[in-house]
A = this chain, B = another copy of it.
């Protein structure tokens, strides 16, 4: 397939016909306000698609956005950081609805045309008294150049905002895809603790967009893990408004394939950016399992290795400990045979047929000392493969996550708890 594209600036504001904005409400800490409320708006009606956490405990905004997408397409999104609006009961649903109403009325849209997302601490009521006064400024600020501000407004423990945009030729038109993502902890397969927004001026019908988004999320966001914890708020929302002027993409046509490839590339870039910026992460590790009897076996092995606390600790220490890797392969519940397993670290054989190789330890240590490396686990039993993107687990991660007490103190000051 011919797929070449150019990285451009502008993030989710880069595609034509999208206006965005962000403001500071002081949701997390009124004494130190930072950008924490964002809006994305398509000037024209658009197709939309979303995927959401499979956690049975779902935040109120997840429930509300899912309901809106079931009714039809959404055309605008409101998102906040600093409070997840999760485990907040009926009041949480009311607050999420109120956020939708806050931008729906001034934009002349129905409530069900709005997507709503929240990320932050779980279990505390939303400080709506700090959000509501800012709807007007949020709408007034909408412009074509505010993509970076949205990327900034949705981050929590991330060390930096993460966004990108690309331009590529689709038929005779130039099409753009822009995206931003937040997420650094509570990252695990089946949707990470993560918000991701993607805009595009491609012209694609909703059903086709939805199918493409599901497929691309499966190949990107569902393949990353930092700490193995799945969040209550994970959301990917994609809006496609057709403002590039192209004719509608036909299902199964060549342009459909090309668009999907571009979308997959954008999602994979954003997903891996989340791992690279994981909480106190020092290594980015690609875990590539091949030679499995089935796709599911390959996936089980990749997940077990990527999530093992002992394996991740050894990566943190720069230790190419294949013994710990194979022990995780063994407990993955995949049908493996120890005596067939090969493990390559950065292209060097560490284990062949379940046994240690003669590769000098120092060569392997040099590979694992680098900030990025690849582990290839060949089960030598079939043709199925699966790749995951993982990280080390550092003492600093635990330190960082020892307490969320500061959030509770603020909530008490606000009279919310």
Contact = CB atoms under 8 A, between A and B. Distances in A.
Interface stretch (A68-76, A173-181, A396-404): A396-404
Interface in A223-241: 227-232
A356 B123 CA distance: 6
Nearest to A317: B402
Nearest to A56: B330
B87 A57 contact: no
A34 to B, nearest CB: 22
B417 A327 contact: no
Nearest to A318: B403
Interface stretch (A96-104, A285-293, A307-315): A307-315
A360 to B, nearest CB: 10
A185 interface: yes
Interface stretch (A164-172, A258-266, A331-339): A331-339
A87 B331 contact: no
Contacts of A231: 327
B55 A323 contact: no
Nearest to A331: B230
Contacts of A334: 56
Interface of A: 54-58, 86-89, 121-124, 185-186, 188, 190, 227-232, 308-310, 313-314, 316-319, 321-324, 326-332, 334-339, 341, 351, 353-356, 361, 365, 393-399, 401-405, 408, 412, 417
11 contacts: A56-B332, A56-B337, A57-B327, A87-B354, A89-B353, A231-B327, A309-B397, A319-B404, A361-B412, A395-B396, A397-B398
The 3 closest A-B pairs by CB, nearest first: A317-B402, A57-B330, A122-B323
